[in-house]
Amino acid sequence: MRRPDGLLNHNVLGEDKGPQDACGVFGVWAPGEEVAKLTFYGLYALQHRGTESAGIATSDGERILVYKDMGLVSQVFTEGDLATLKGNLAIGHCRYSTTGSSTWVNAQPTLRPTKYGTLALAHNGNLTNTGDLAELVQKLEASYTRGATTDTEIMTALIALQDSKNVEASALTVLPQLEGAFSLVFMDEHTLYAARDRHGVRPLVLGKLETGWVVASESAGLDIVGAAFVREIEPGEFISIDANGVRSQRWAEAQPKGCLFEYVYLARPDTTIAGSGIHRTRVAIGAQLAKEQPAEADLVIPVPESGTPAAIGYAKESGIPFGMGLVKNSYVGRTFIQPSQTIRQLGIRLKLNPLREIIEGKRIVVVDDSIVRGNTQRAIVRMLREAGAREIHVRISSPPVKWPCYYGIDFASRAELIANGLDVEEIRRSIGADSLGYVSLEGLISSTKVPSERLCSACFTGEYPIRIPEDLSEGKMRLEITEAHGH
Ligand code: SF4
């Protein structure tokens, strides 16, 4: 495997990232199919959920092989690599680190021998009781030092060290001990497993191939491999898939608290969550935004691509024409090439470029999905002014993000969130817009058509549905994240 030196990759946009998702997971049980290739394409569709590293584990019934590396899915695997990963079942993962450093060793799937075979595991989410779990691991394995830096490794160790008759029994012992958000796919030599936390914070769906089964973070991951959507894996559900078919067990009563931010930004527009198509939901949020935050303007433009459906909804509802005033360089993602200082200063222009002939002399409504630190919107406003916009009205398809997420999304620390210290008028002044308007929380939730009591909206309200231990609130966890990103 290449690059075991822990080399970091770089965000070419510099320090001001949008919210980063924790990970994408994929699993397939399909004897006779090229499971590694199916997993590669599944991860390819889930790339937006994690761009720092990617990995695939396969089993041929006798042994499990894992291949993982830093980089985009398409950078990590070659045709030759995939050809060596033969088997009947596979799991895959693409990662954005929310805990643990961004190094090769923390790429997933994780791998651990057990007394009954080998366990490979991939995780989307974030556990909130990692300290307690590490203590449990230490009791089971005297030689265990708390060197493991990810909640995923601790969870893998805990399952692998159980004195049970098989992985299924071990998982059913360990799952109730985990707190926080987790959508898991894991496997031994013969069986594919999947589990979701009792709140179902992160999505996870089940699909059917002609000759097997697929599990994926989003339904878009099923579509790309031709799997038919069967259903969402329920909060608190555990499933096993092997030659006997799919077996479902409930390890906890469901207490749904799906992530509201998946609807705003995280999930792909062509994904369906809780029966709602994400694109349609985002168009509805944009229409709601237009009702709540109207503007006198000549043109509605999106910040592509995450702001596009909401801008379509805003334009339709307001009757203001829609146009593409910002062109996105779609191929700027993550790169191993450290940008030079000159390039870094270009900042947002590496990603977005204004179309002067569309913008010049016009009053523009620019629609974006969220404001985290405010640096991106400040740069966009400046860029649009330079391109000749007469007025700039910024409209945001989520309420102000005021609180950090402890369930797998890396926004920023509380102190870094611009809406934590400033009110809307102060933020408007800070980003230099002529007006600024956010959709209300009620307006956002009603657009999702999911009852508010079934959603997590903690980053907007500060009401965390899963207990946050004191050592995670601000201090310790932020430290890990800060170290991970080398800020
Ligand atoms: S805090 Fe926000 S981003 Fe995190 S799970 Fe809740 S709604 Fe989603």
Residue 423 is which amino acid? Answer: D
Q: What are phi and psi of 482, to 5 degrees?
A: -65, -40
Q: Residue 37 C-alpha to ligand 1 middle, in angstroms?
A: 32
The sign one gets for the Cα dihedral 345, 348, 352, 358 is negative
Helix orientation angle between 308-318 and 278-292, rounded to the nearest 10 degrees: 50
How far does the centroid of ligand 1 lie from the alpha carbon of residue 439, in Å? 17
Mean pLDDT of 11-27: 62
Cβ 267 under 6 angstroms from ligand 1: no
23 is catalytic: yes
Residue 68 pLDDT grade (very low, low, confident, very high; cuts 50, 70, 90): very high
The pLDDT value recorded for residue 343 is 63
pTM summary value: 0.90
Q: Which two tokens stand for residue 258?
A: 């799906």
Say yes or no: CB of residue 259 within 6 Å of ligand 1.
yes
Q: Is the pLDDT of residue 424 over 90?
A: yes
Rounded average pLDDT over 61-85 = 93
- Whether residue 346 is predicted with pLDDT greater than 50 in this model: the reply is yes
Q: Does ligand 1 lie within 6 Å of residue 184's CB atom?
A: no
- Asked whether residue 256 carries a pLDDT value surpassing 80, the answer given is yes
Whether ligand 1 lies within 6 angstroms of the CB of 326 is answered as no
Q: 172 or 483, which is more confident?
A: 172
In this prediction, residues 340-357 reach a mean pLDDT of: 76
Which atom of ligand 1 lies at the shortest distance from residue 181's CA? 5
pLDDT at 211 over 50: yes
Q: Whose CA is nearest to atom 4 of ligand 1?
A: 405
Domains and CATH numbers, the chain: 10-257 (3.60.20.10), 272-461 (3.40.50.2020)
Which protein residue has the closest C-alpha to ligand 1 atom 8?
259
The arithmetic mean of pLDDT across residues 222-245, rounded, is 97
* Separation CA 230–CA 218 (nearest Å): 12
Please, what's the largest Cα pairwise distance for the chain? Answer: 72
Distance in angstroms (rounded) separating the CA atoms of residues 279 and 270 = 6
Active-site choice (23, 94, 405, 459): 23
pLDDT band, residue 115 (cuts 50/70/90): confident
Q: What ligand 1 atom has the least distance to the C-alpha of 403?
A: 1
The verdict on the CB of residue 264 being under 6 Å from ligand 1 is no
The answer, yes or no, to whether any atom of ligand 1 lies below 6 A from the CB of 266, is no
**Distance in angstroms (rounded) separating the CA atoms of residues 91 and 54:** 11
Residue 143, φ and ψ in degrees, nearest 5: -80, -5
457 lines ligand 1 (CB under 6 A): yes
The confidence score (pLDDT) of residue 340 equals 66
Tell me the per-residue pLDDT of 453-476, one tens digit each, with 9 for 90 and over.
999 999 999 999 999 876 665 544
Closest ligand 1 atom to residue 460 Cα is 2
Mean pLDDT of the chain: 88
pLDDT value at position 30? 97
Helix pair angle (167-174, 151-160), 10° resolution: 130
Residue 28 alpha carbon to ligand 1 centre in Å: 28
- In this prediction, residue 175 carries a pLDDT of 98
**Looking at 9-18, 120-129, 289-298, 462-471, which range is the least confident one?**
9-18
Mutate to test the pocket of ligand 1, among 126, 183, 201, 259 (most ligand atoms within 8 A of CB): 259
What local confidence, expressed as pLDDT, does residue 15 receive? Answer: 37
**Phi, psi torsion values for 309, nearest 5 degrees:** -60, -40
* pLDDT score recorded for residue 195: 98
